[in-house]
Structure 1
Amino acid sequence: MKKLLFTIFAVSLLTSCQSKTESPQNVDSCQVATDFLKHYAGNYESISAVDPFVYEPTYGVDFRKFEMLSERLKLNVFFTEDFQKRFREKYSKIENELKKNPQDDGPIEGFEADEFLFTQDYDEILGWIKSGKYKCSASENTAVVSFYPEYALEFQLKDGKIDAMSMKSN
Protein backbone atom coordinates (compact mmCIF):
# COMPACT_ATOMS: atom_id res chain seq x y z
CA MET A 1 0.00 0.00 0.00
CA LYS A 2 2.87 2.37 0.82
CA LYS A 3 4.43 1.69 -2.59
CA LEU A 4 1.14 2.45 -4.33
CA LEU A 5 0.66 5.72 -2.44
CA PHE A 6 4.30 6.67 -3.05
CA THR A 7 3.95 5.91 -6.79
CA ILE A 8 0.76 7.97 -7.07
CA PHE A 9 2.40 10.84 -5.17
CA ALA A 10 5.56 10.69 -7.33
CA VAL A 11 3.60 10.63 -10.60
CA SER A 12 1.38 13.55 -9.56
CA LEU A 13 4.44 15.52 -8.40
CA LEU A 14 6.21 14.94 -11.71
CA THR A 15 3.21 15.91 -13.82
CA SER A 16 2.59 19.06 -11.79
CA CYS A 17 6.24 20.11 -12.26
CA GLN A 18 6.20 19.83 -16.05
CA SER A 19 6.61 23.18 -17.75
CA LYS A 20 3.44 24.59 -19.14
CA THR A 21 3.66 26.14 -22.58
CA GLU A 22 2.12 29.58 -22.85
CA SER A 23 -1.01 29.80 -24.89
CA PRO A 24 -0.92 32.52 -27.53
CA GLN A 25 -3.36 34.56 -25.44
CA ASN A 26 -0.86 34.66 -22.55
CA VAL A 27 2.14 35.69 -24.62
CA ASP A 28 3.83 38.90 -23.49
CA SER A 29 3.30 41.33 -26.38
CA CYS A 30 6.37 43.36 -25.41
CA GLN A 31 8.50 40.22 -25.38
CA VAL A 32 7.40 39.23 -28.88
CA ALA A 33 7.95 42.75 -30.28
CA THR A 34 11.34 43.27 -28.64
CA ASP A 35 12.51 39.76 -29.54
CA PHE A 36 11.88 40.58 -33.20
CA LEU A 37 13.59 43.97 -32.91
CA LYS A 38 16.62 42.39 -31.23
CA HIS A 39 16.80 39.77 -33.98
CA TYR A 40 16.46 42.47 -36.64
CA ALA A 41 19.13 44.71 -35.12
CA GLY A 42 21.50 41.86 -34.35
CA ASN A 43 21.25 40.47 -37.87
CA TYR A 44 20.79 43.71 -39.79
CA GLU A 45 23.94 43.34 -41.90
CA SER A 46 22.96 39.83 -42.97
CA ILE A 47 19.34 40.83 -43.60
CA SER A 48 20.15 43.98 -45.57
CA ALA A 49 22.77 42.12 -47.63
CA VAL A 50 19.91 40.30 -49.38
CA ASP A 51 18.47 42.74 -51.90
CA PRO A 52 15.27 41.25 -53.35
CA PHE A 53 15.40 43.59 -56.34
CA VAL A 54 17.17 43.41 -59.69
CA TYR A 55 18.17 46.67 -61.32
CA GLU A 56 19.20 45.90 -64.89
CA PRO A 57 17.99 46.42 -67.48
CA THR A 58 15.00 47.71 -65.47
CA TYR A 59 13.90 47.14 -61.88
CA GLY A 60 12.16 43.93 -60.86
CA VAL A 61 11.76 41.50 -57.96
CA ASP A 62 14.00 38.45 -57.60
CA PHE A 63 11.70 36.07 -55.71
CA ARG A 64 14.55 33.66 -54.95
CA LYS A 65 16.24 36.48 -53.04
CA PHE A 66 12.88 37.45 -51.55
CA GLU A 67 12.68 33.95 -50.04
CA MET A 68 16.22 34.34 -48.65
CA LEU A 69 15.18 37.67 -47.13
CA SER A 70 12.10 36.07 -45.56
CA GLU A 71 14.27 33.35 -44.01
CA ARG A 72 16.78 35.84 -42.60
CA LEU A 73 13.96 37.92 -41.16
CA LYS A 74 12.59 34.72 -39.59
CA LEU A 75 9.12 35.67 -40.77
CA ASN A 76 7.78 32.22 -39.88
CA VAL A 77 9.03 32.62 -36.29
CA PHE A 78 7.91 36.17 -35.50
CA PHE A 79 4.99 36.86 -37.85
CA THR A 80 1.54 35.41 -38.51
CA GLU A 81 0.74 33.59 -41.73
CA ASP A 82 -1.49 36.54 -42.68
CA PHE A 83 1.43 38.96 -42.28
CA GLN A 84 3.66 36.70 -44.37
CA LYS A 85 0.99 36.50 -47.07
CA ARG A 86 0.61 40.31 -47.15
CA PHE A 87 4.41 40.71 -47.22
CA ARG A 88 4.66 38.45 -50.28
CA GLU A 89 1.67 40.15 -51.94
CA LYS A 90 3.39 43.53 -51.47
CA TYR A 91 6.39 42.32 -53.45
CA SER A 92 4.16 40.69 -56.09
CA LYS A 93 2.27 43.98 -56.55
CA ILE A 94 5.56 45.83 -56.90
CA GLU A 95 6.74 43.32 -59.50
CA ASN A 96 3.50 43.74 -61.47
CA GLU A 97 3.72 47.53 -61.24
CA LEU A 98 7.35 47.51 -62.40
CA LYS A 99 6.37 45.35 -65.38
CA LYS A 100 3.59 47.79 -66.31
CA ASN A 101 5.70 50.88 -65.65
CA PRO A 102 9.39 50.01 -66.00
CA GLN A 103 11.74 51.94 -63.76
CA ASP A 104 15.50 52.21 -64.11
CA ASP A 105 16.51 54.86 -61.59
CA GLY A 106 15.65 56.23 -58.16
CA PRO A 107 14.19 54.38 -55.20
CA ILE A 108 11.35 51.96 -55.73
CA GLU A 109 8.11 53.44 -54.45
CA GLY A 110 7.46 52.26 -50.91
CA PHE A 111 11.13 51.50 -50.25
CA GLU A 112 12.40 54.98 -49.48
CA ALA A 113 12.83 54.02 -45.80
CA ASP A 114 13.66 50.90 -43.80
CA GLU A 115 10.78 48.48 -44.26
CA PHE A 116 10.53 47.48 -40.58
CA LEU A 117 11.78 50.57 -38.76
CA PHE A 118 9.89 53.00 -41.03
CA THR A 119 12.73 55.53 -41.13
CA GLN A 120 15.71 56.47 -43.25
CA ASP A 121 17.71 57.16 -40.07
CA TYR A 122 17.82 53.55 -38.95
CA ASP A 123 21.43 53.43 -37.65
CA GLU A 124 20.54 55.27 -34.45
CA ILE A 125 17.45 53.11 -33.88
CA LEU A 126 19.46 49.91 -34.42
CA GLY A 127 21.97 51.13 -31.82
CA TRP A 128 19.20 51.81 -29.31
CA ILE A 129 17.72 48.37 -29.89
CA LYS A 130 21.10 46.68 -29.39
CA SER A 131 21.76 48.65 -26.20
CA GLY A 132 18.24 48.19 -24.82
CA LYS A 133 17.48 51.94 -24.85
CA TYR A 134 13.75 51.74 -25.40
CA LYS A 135 10.55 51.36 -23.43
CA CYS A 136 7.75 48.98 -24.20
CA SER A 137 4.16 49.21 -23.09
CA ALA A 138 1.54 46.61 -23.84
CA SER A 139 -2.18 46.23 -23.84
CA GLU A 140 -4.19 43.32 -25.13
CA ASN A 141 -2.55 42.11 -28.37
CA THR A 142 -0.66 45.39 -28.83
CA ALA A 143 2.85 46.50 -27.96
CA VAL A 144 4.32 49.96 -28.39
CA VAL A 145 8.11 50.20 -28.37
CA SER A 146 9.22 53.81 -27.81
CA PHE A 147 12.70 55.08 -28.55
CA TYR A 148 12.10 58.78 -27.91
CA PRO A 149 8.94 60.88 -27.72
CA GLU A 150 8.66 61.37 -31.47
CA TYR A 151 9.45 57.80 -32.53
CA ALA A 152 7.68 54.60 -31.55
CA LEU A 153 6.73 51.36 -33.26
CA GLU A 154 3.34 49.73 -32.73
CA PHE A 155 2.93 45.98 -33.03
CA GLN A 156 -0.43 44.24 -33.40
CA LEU A 157 -0.31 40.60 -32.31
CA LYS A 158 -2.53 37.68 -33.20
CA ASP A 159 -2.07 34.18 -31.79
CA GLY A 160 1.20 35.22 -30.14
CA LYS A 161 2.84 36.51 -33.33
CA ILE A 162 3.16 39.89 -35.01
CA ASP A 163 0.28 40.47 -37.42
CA ALA A 164 0.97 44.12 -38.25
CA MET A 165 3.44 46.81 -37.36
CA SER A 166 3.60 50.52 -38.02
CA MET A 167 5.20 53.72 -36.88
CA LYS A 168 3.13 55.06 -34.01
CA SER A 169 1.98 58.62 -34.45
CA ASN A 170 1.89 60.69 -31.29
Structure 2
Amino acid sequence: MAQHRDSARESILTAFQELLIDTSGSGASLDAVARAAGVTKGGLLYHFGSRDGLETALIDRLERLADAEYERMRAAPAGAAASYVAMAEYVNSPLDRATLAGGSLARRNPRAHAVIVDMRRRYFDILNEDLRDPDLARATMLLADGLYYDATTIGEPFEHELDIPAFLARLTPRTVS
Protein backbone atom coordinates (compact mmCIF):
# COMPACT_ATOMS: atom_id res chain seq x y z
CA MET A 1 0.00 0.00 0.00
CA ALA A 2 2.87 2.40 0.79
CA GLN A 3 4.33 1.79 -2.67
CA HIS A 4 0.99 2.74 -4.29
CA ARG A 5 0.86 5.89 -2.14
CA ASP A 6 4.43 6.80 -3.18
CA SER A 7 3.59 6.09 -6.82
CA ALA A 8 0.50 8.31 -6.70
CA ARG A 9 2.49 11.04 -4.98
CA GLU A 10 5.23 10.88 -7.64
CA SER A 11 2.64 10.92 -10.44
CA ILE A 12 1.01 14.02 -9.00
CA LEU A 13 4.38 15.71 -8.53
CA THR A 14 5.41 14.89 -12.09
CA ALA A 15 2.10 16.19 -13.45
CA PHE A 16 2.66 19.44 -11.53
CA GLN A 17 6.23 19.68 -12.85
CA GLU A 18 5.17 19.17 -16.46
CA LEU A 19 2.31 21.66 -16.21
CA LEU A 20 4.70 24.25 -14.78
CA ILE A 21 6.96 23.72 -17.79
CA ASP A 22 4.25 23.51 -20.44
CA THR A 23 2.25 26.51 -19.24
CA SER A 24 4.99 28.63 -17.63
CA GLY A 25 3.12 28.08 -14.39
CA SER A 26 -0.14 29.69 -15.47
CA GLY A 27 -1.93 26.40 -16.10
CA ALA A 28 -0.72 24.54 -13.03
CA SER A 29 -3.79 24.97 -10.85
CA LEU A 30 -4.61 22.25 -8.34
CA ASP A 31 -7.56 21.20 -10.50
CA ALA A 32 -5.34 20.96 -13.61
CA VAL A 33 -2.67 19.01 -11.73
CA ALA A 34 -5.23 16.57 -10.36
CA ARG A 35 -6.72 16.11 -13.84
CA ALA A 36 -3.28 15.57 -15.43
CA ALA A 37 -2.31 13.07 -12.72
CA GLY A 38 -5.61 11.19 -12.99
CA VAL A 39 -6.56 11.78 -9.37
CA THR A 40 -9.22 13.78 -7.62
CA LYS A 41 -8.41 17.15 -6.13
CA GLY A 42 -9.04 15.51 -2.75
CA GLY A 43 -6.45 12.86 -3.61
CA LEU A 44 -3.95 15.55 -4.50
CA LEU A 45 -4.62 17.37 -1.23
CA TYR A 46 -4.32 14.09 0.69
CA HIS A 47 -0.72 13.76 -0.57
CA PHE A 48 0.37 17.41 -0.48
CA GLY A 49 -2.08 19.36 1.66
CA SER A 50 -1.92 22.53 -0.43
CA ARG A 51 -0.29 24.26 -3.37
CA ASP A 52 2.57 25.20 -1.01
CA GLY A 53 3.04 21.52 -0.16
CA LEU A 54 3.21 20.67 -3.84
CA GLU A 55 5.76 23.42 -4.48
CA THR A 56 7.86 22.33 -1.49
CA ALA A 57 7.91 18.73 -2.72
CA LEU A 58 8.98 19.82 -6.21
CA ILE A 59 11.78 21.98 -4.81
CA ASP A 60 12.87 19.04 -2.62
CA ARG A 61 12.96 16.84 -5.74
CA LEU A 62 15.09 19.42 -7.53
CA GLU A 63 17.55 19.59 -4.63
CA ARG A 64 17.86 15.76 -4.49
CA LEU A 65 18.50 15.51 -8.22
CA ALA A 66 20.99 18.38 -8.16
CA ASP A 67 22.89 16.82 -5.24
CA ALA A 68 23.20 13.58 -7.22
CA GLU A 69 24.44 15.57 -10.24
CA TYR A 70 27.14 17.33 -8.21
CA GLU A 71 28.45 13.93 -7.09
CA ARG A 72 28.29 12.57 -10.63
CA MET A 73 30.23 15.55 -11.95
CA ARG A 74 32.92 15.19 -9.28
CA ALA A 75 33.34 11.50 -10.07
CA ALA A 76 33.27 11.84 -13.87
CA PRO A 77 36.34 10.16 -15.40
CA ALA A 78 36.77 12.92 -18.00
CA GLY A 79 36.41 15.62 -15.35
CA ALA A 80 33.62 17.82 -14.10
CA ALA A 81 33.88 20.29 -16.98
CA ALA A 82 33.43 17.64 -19.67
CA SER A 83 30.57 16.15 -17.69
CA TYR A 84 28.88 19.53 -17.30
CA VAL A 85 28.84 20.31 -20.99
CA ALA A 86 27.63 16.87 -22.08
CA MET A 87 24.22 18.14 -23.16
CA ALA A 88 23.06 14.91 -24.79
CA GLU A 89 22.91 13.35 -21.32
CA TYR A 90 21.11 16.30 -19.74
CA VAL A 91 18.36 17.45 -22.12
CA ASN A 92 14.99 16.10 -20.91
CA SER A 93 16.62 14.25 -18.01
CA PRO A 94 14.79 14.22 -14.67
CA LEU A 95 17.15 16.99 -13.47
CA ASP A 96 16.49 19.07 -16.58
CA ARG A 97 12.71 18.77 -16.17
CA ALA A 98 12.87 19.57 -12.43
CA THR A 99 15.16 22.56 -13.13
CA LEU A 100 12.79 23.94 -15.77
CA ALA A 101 9.84 23.59 -13.39
CA GLY A 102 11.87 25.08 -10.54
CA GLY A 103 12.73 28.02 -12.77
CA SER A 104 9.04 28.59 -13.38
CA LEU A 105 8.40 28.54 -9.63
CA ALA A 106 11.40 30.80 -8.94
CA ARG A 107 9.58 33.80 -10.37
CA ARG A 108 7.39 33.96 -7.27
CA ASN A 109 8.68 31.38 -4.78
CA PRO A 110 11.71 32.65 -2.81
CA ARG A 111 12.90 29.15 -1.87
CA ALA A 112 12.79 27.97 -5.50
CA HIS A 113 14.71 31.09 -6.50
CA ALA A 114 17.33 30.44 -3.81
CA VAL A 115 17.73 26.79 -4.91
CA ILE A 116 18.22 27.78 -8.57
CA VAL A 117 20.80 30.42 -7.59
CA ASP A 118 22.56 27.94 -5.29
CA MET A 119 22.68 25.37 -8.08
CA ARG A 120 24.51 27.82 -10.33
CA ARG A 121 26.96 28.66 -7.56
CA ARG A 122 27.61 25.00 -6.77
CA TYR A 123 28.15 24.17 -10.42
CA PHE A 124 30.62 27.04 -10.64
CA ASP A 125 32.47 25.83 -7.53
CA ILE A 126 32.75 22.28 -8.89
CA LEU A 127 33.96 23.54 -12.27
CA ASN A 128 36.45 25.87 -10.61
CA GLU A 129 37.81 22.96 -8.53
CA ASP A 130 38.20 20.95 -11.73
CA LEU A 131 39.66 23.67 -13.97
CA ARG A 132 41.47 25.68 -11.25
CA ASP A 133 40.56 28.91 -12.99
CA PRO A 134 37.43 30.93 -12.22
CA ASP A 135 37.36 32.48 -15.70
CA LEU A 136 37.47 29.05 -17.35
CA ALA A 137 34.86 27.78 -14.92
CA ARG A 138 32.50 30.62 -15.82
CA ALA A 139 33.25 30.30 -19.54
CA THR A 140 32.47 26.57 -19.29
CA MET A 141 29.11 27.37 -17.72
CA LEU A 142 28.35 29.80 -20.53
CA LEU A 143 29.49 27.25 -23.12
CA ALA A 144 27.15 24.66 -21.60
CA ASP A 145 24.31 27.18 -21.53
CA GLY A 146 24.83 27.81 -25.24
CA LEU A 147 25.01 24.10 -26.04
CA TYR A 148 21.82 23.53 -24.05
CA TYR A 149 20.07 26.36 -25.89
CA ASP A 150 21.22 24.93 -29.21
CA ALA A 151 20.10 21.40 -28.30
CA THR A 152 16.68 22.48 -27.04
CA THR A 153 15.79 25.05 -29.68
CA ILE A 154 17.39 23.76 -32.87
CA GLY A 155 17.02 20.04 -32.23
CA GLU A 156 19.41 18.98 -34.95
CA PRO A 157 23.19 18.91 -35.27
CA PHE A 158 24.93 22.15 -36.11
CA GLU A 159 27.03 21.98 -39.27
CA HIS A 160 30.20 22.18 -37.16
CA GLU A 161 29.74 20.10 -34.01
CA LEU A 162 32.08 20.84 -31.14
CA ASP A 163 34.42 18.11 -29.90
CA ILE A 164 33.89 19.05 -26.26
CA PRO A 165 36.75 17.08 -24.66
CA ALA A 166 39.24 18.42 -27.23
CA PHE A 167 37.93 21.94 -26.80
CA LEU A 168 38.17 21.76 -23.02
CA ALA A 169 41.71 20.38 -23.31
CA ARG A 170 42.65 23.45 -25.35
CA LEU A 171 41.20 25.73 -22.66
CA THR A 172 42.68 24.00 -19.61
CA PRO A 173 45.81 25.76 -18.33
CA ARG A 174 49.02 23.97 -19.16
CA THR A 175 51.69 23.29 -16.57
CA VAL A 176 54.90 25.04 -17.57
CA SER A 177 58.08 23.01 -16.92
TM-score range, shorter chain: under 0.3
Structure showing greater relative contact order (alpha-carbon pairs closer than 8 Å, 6 or more residues apart):
1
* TM-score using structure 1 length: 0.26
Q: Which structure has more strand as a fraction of its residues? A: 1
Higher CA-based Rg: 1
Q: Which structure has more helix as a fraction of its residues? A: 2
* TM-score using structure 2 length: 0.25
